[in-house]
C-alpha cells in the first residue's frame, strides 16, 4: 500500500512501465512457440530458404522434433534458475541482471530475425535456434526474478500490473502472428516482421526500465532497498506474496528466492525483548501438508506441456486449401489456448472449488490425462501408428477450449489452496515449494512430449 509521504505516480507512468516489463518477460517463450510452423518449414527445406508462418497444405513437418525440443529447452532453464535464484542474485548487482538480461534477449532475438534472410542448411539452423531458445529463456528467468525483487519494495498494485502484462504475452504473440500472416506480403518478409516485433517490445522494455530512475514515485520506493528500510520492505514483500496467492500466479520463478528472503527477515529480534516467534518452518513438515496439492500442480502442467505445443501445433484443419486452413492453427491452437487459460485463471477470483479438504481435486486433475489421446487422435497428417478419429475441426476446438480453461483454473486453484493448508508462518515455504513443483511439472511435461510424439 502506498504510504502517506509517498509521491504520486504521475500519469501512471510507473504502472505502465511495470506492465510493459511484465509483457516483455514472457514475450520470448510465446513468440517462439507461436512461430513453430515457420521453424518447421525452415528445417524441412533442403535449400534453407525461409519458411512460412502458417502451416502448408499437408501440415507442418515436425523435422528434428522441433516442437518437443523447443518446449524442453524453454522449461529447463526455469527449473535450473528456480534452484539457483538465491545464490545468483546475491552475487550480481540488480541493474546488471536486469539490463544485461534485456540486452542479451534483444541481441538473441535480433539474431533470430536476421536468420530469416540467411540461407542455411537445416542442421546448423536447428543448432543455432536451440541454443538461442536455451539462452533466451535463461535470461528471461533471471529477468523475472530480478524484476520481482524490485516489486518487493513497491505497493502490491504494481505486482498485479506486472503479472497482468505477463498474462497478455501469449495473446499478444498470437495476434502478432495473425497480423503478419494477414499482411499480404511474401513469406520471408512476413516472418521477418513477426520476429522484429518482440525486438521492438524488448527495446520498449529497456526504455521503461531506464525511465524508472527518472520518476519520483519509482525512486521513492526503490530507494528503500539501498536505505535498508526492513519494516517497509518486509511489508511490501508480504503483500506481493499475498497478491500472488490470491491471483493464482504460477509462472514466476521469483517466488522461491523471495519467500526464502522474506522468511529470513522474519527471524525474531530477541535483543529487543520481543516475544519468541514460531521457529523457522521445516520444509519436510510443510511438504507433508501440501504434497497432494503439489502433486496435482505437477500433473496439470505435465499433461499440458506433453501435448501443447508439441502435438497441438501439428493439428491441421480437415477442410480444403483456403484462408481458414491457413489461419486454423494460430487461431484455434495458440490464440484460443491463451485466451481460455487467462479466463480459467481469472475464475479463481470468484470462487475456489473444490476446496482444500476435498478429494475431488485429484480426480479432476487425473481426468485431464484424457486430453492426451484426444489430441493425438485429432487431424495430425504426420502419423505412423494411430488413426485419425476426430477429423472435424469442431472436435479440436472443443478439446482445446476445455483443455485451456481447465489448465488455467486448476493451476490457479492449486496455487491458491496450498497456503491455506499450512500455518500462517509456513506459507512462504509453501509458496517456495509450489514454485519448485511448478517448474518440475513443466519440465516433466516437456520430456513426456517426446514419448507422445513417437507414439503418433
Give the Cα separation of 88 and 105 in Å (integer): 18
The answer, yes or no, to whether residue 228 has pLDDT greater than 60, is no
- CATH value at residue 19: 1.20.1250.20
pLDDT tens per residue, range 339-385: 999 999 889 888 889 987 888 999 999 999 999 999 999 999 878 88
Q: Do 318 and 391 meet the contact criterion of CB atoms below 8 Å apart?
A: yes
Q: Is the peptide bond before 354 cis (omega within 30 degrees of 0)?
A: yes
**Confidence at residue 306, expressed as pLDDT on a 0 to 100 scale:** 96
**How many structural domains are present in the chain?**
1
87 vs 252 pLDDT, higher one: 87
Q: How confident is the model at residue 248 (pLDDT cuts 50, 70, 90)?
A: very low
Averaging pLDDT over each range in 11-15, 88-92, 268-272, which range is the top one? 11-15
pLDDT tens per residue, range 107-161: 999 999 999 999 889 999 999 999 999 999 999 988 988 888 788 778 878 888 8
**Confidence at residue 63, expressed as pLDDT on a 0 to 100 scale:** 65
By the 10 Å C-beta count (0-12 exposed, 13-18 middle, 19+ buried), 227 is classed as exposed
**Confidence at residue 51, expressed as pLDDT on a 0 to 100 scale:** 59
The answer, yes or no, to whether residue 243 has pLDDT greater than 60, is no
Q: Is residue 15 part of a domain?
A: yes
277 vs 298 pLDDT, higher one: 298
Q: Is residue 288 part of a domain?
A: yes
Give the Cα separation of 112 and 106 in Å (integer): 10
The answer, yes or no, to whether residue 163 has pLDDT greater than 50, is yes
The answer, yes or no, to whether residue 273 has pLDDT greater than 60, is no
pTM of the model: 0.80
Q: How confident is the model at residue 277 (pLDDT cuts 50, 70, 90)?
A: low
Q: Do 435 and 255 meet the contact criterion of CB atoms below 8 Å apart?
A: yes
Average pLDDT score over residue span 234-244: 47
Domain enclosing residue 63, as ranges: 10-265+277-455
Q: Is the peptide bond before 309 cis (omega within 30 degrees of 0)?
A: yes
Q: Is residue 4 part of a domain?
A: no
**Confidence at residue 227, expressed as pLDDT on a 0 to 100 scale:** 52
Indicate the range of 189-198, 204-213, 276-285, 326-335 predicted with least confidence: 276-285
Q: Is residue 153 part of a domain?
A: yes
Q: Is residue 272 part of a domain?
A: no
Q: Is residue 352 part of a domain?
A: yes
Closest by CA position to 444, among listed 305, 310, 249: 305
pLDDT tens per residue, range 370-383: 999 999 999 998 78
367 vs 54 pLDDT, higher one: 367
Q: pLDDT over 70 for what percent of the chain?
A: 81
Q: Is residue 443 part of a domain?
A: yes
Q: Is residue 270 part of a domain?
A: no
Mean pLDDT of the chain: 82
Indicate the range of 49-63, 297-311, 402-416 predicted with least confidence: 49-63
88 vs 310 pLDDT, higher one: 310
Amino acid at each position: 500500500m502506498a504510504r502517506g509521504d509517498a509521491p504520486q505516480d504521475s500519469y501512471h507512468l510507473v504502472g505502465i512501465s511495470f506492465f510493459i516489463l511484465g509483457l516483455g518477460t514472457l514475450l520470448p517463450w510465446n513468440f517462439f512457440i507461436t512461430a513453430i510452423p515457420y521453424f518447421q518449414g525452415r528445417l524441412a527445406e533442403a535449400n534453407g530458404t525461409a519458411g512460412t508462418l502458417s502451416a502448408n497444405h499437408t501440415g507442418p513437418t515436425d523435422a528434428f522434433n522441433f516442437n518437443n525440443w523447443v518446449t524442453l529447452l524453454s522449461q529447463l532453464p526455469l527449473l535450473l534458475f528456480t534452484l539457483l535464484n538465491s545464490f545468483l542474485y546475491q552475487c550480481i548487482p540488480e541493474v546488471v541482471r536486469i539490463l544485461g538480461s534485456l540486452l542479451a534477449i534483444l541481441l538473441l532475438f535480433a539474431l533470430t530475425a536476421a536468420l530469416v534472410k540467411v540461407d542455411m542448411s537445416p542442421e546448423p539452423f536447428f543448432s543455432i535456434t536451440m541454443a538461442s531458445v536455451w539462452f533466451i529463456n535463461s535470461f528471461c528467468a533471471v529477468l523475472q526474478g530480478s524484476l520481482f525483487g524490485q516489486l518487493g519494495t513497491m505497493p502490491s498494485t504494481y505486482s498485479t500490473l506486472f503479472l497482468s502484462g505477463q498474462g497478455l504475452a501469449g495473446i499478444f504473440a498470437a495476434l502478432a502472428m495473425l497480423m503478419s500472416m494477414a499482411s499480404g506480403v511474401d513469406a520471408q518478409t512476413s516472418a521477418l516482421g513477426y520476429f522484429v516485433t518482440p525486438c521492438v517490445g524488448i527495446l520498449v522494455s529497456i526504455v521503461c526500465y531506464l525511465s524508472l530512475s527518472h520518476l519520483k514515485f519509482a525512486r521513492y520506493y526503490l530507494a528503500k532497498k539501498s536505505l535498508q528500510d526492513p519494516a517497509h520492505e518486509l511489508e511490501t514483500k508480504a503483500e506481493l506474496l499475498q497478491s500472488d496467492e490470491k491471483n493464482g500466479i504460477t509462472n514466476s520463478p521469483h517466488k522461491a528466492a523471495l519467500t526464502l528472503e522474506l522468511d529470513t527477515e522474519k527471524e525474531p529480534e530477541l535483543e529487543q525483548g520481543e516475544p519468541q516467534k514460531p521457529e523457522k518452518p521445516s520444509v519436510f513438515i510443510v511438504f507433508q501438508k501440501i504434497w497432494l496439492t503439489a502433486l496435482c500442480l505437477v500433473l496439470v502442467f505435465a499433461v499440458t506441456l506433453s501435448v501443447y505445443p508439441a502435438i497441438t501445433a501439428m493439428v491441421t484443419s480437415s477442410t480444403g486449401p483456403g484462408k481458414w486452413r491457413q489461419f486454423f492453427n494460430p487461431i484455434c491452437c495458440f490464440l484460443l489456448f491463451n485466451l481460455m487459460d487467462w479466463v480459467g485463471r481469472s475464475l479463481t477470483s470468484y470462487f475456489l472449488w473444490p476446496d482444500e479438504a476435498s478429494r475431488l481435486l485429484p480426480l479432476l486433475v487425473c481426468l485431464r490425462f484424457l486430453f492426451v489421446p484426444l489430441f493425438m487422435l485429432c487431424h495430425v497428417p504426420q502419423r505412423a501408428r494411430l488413426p485419425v478419429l476426430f477429423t472435424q475441426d469442431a472436435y479440436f476446438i472443443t478439446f482445446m477450449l476445455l483443455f485451456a480453461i481447465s489448465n488455467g483454473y486448476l493451476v490457479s486453484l492449486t496455487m491458491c489452496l496450498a497456503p491455506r493448508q499450512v500455518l500462517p508462518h509456513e506459507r512462504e515455504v509453501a509458496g517456495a515449494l509450489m514454485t519448485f513443483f511448478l517448474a518440475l511439472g513443466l519440465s516433466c511435461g516437456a520430456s513426456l512430449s517426446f514419448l507422445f510424439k513417437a507414439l503418433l
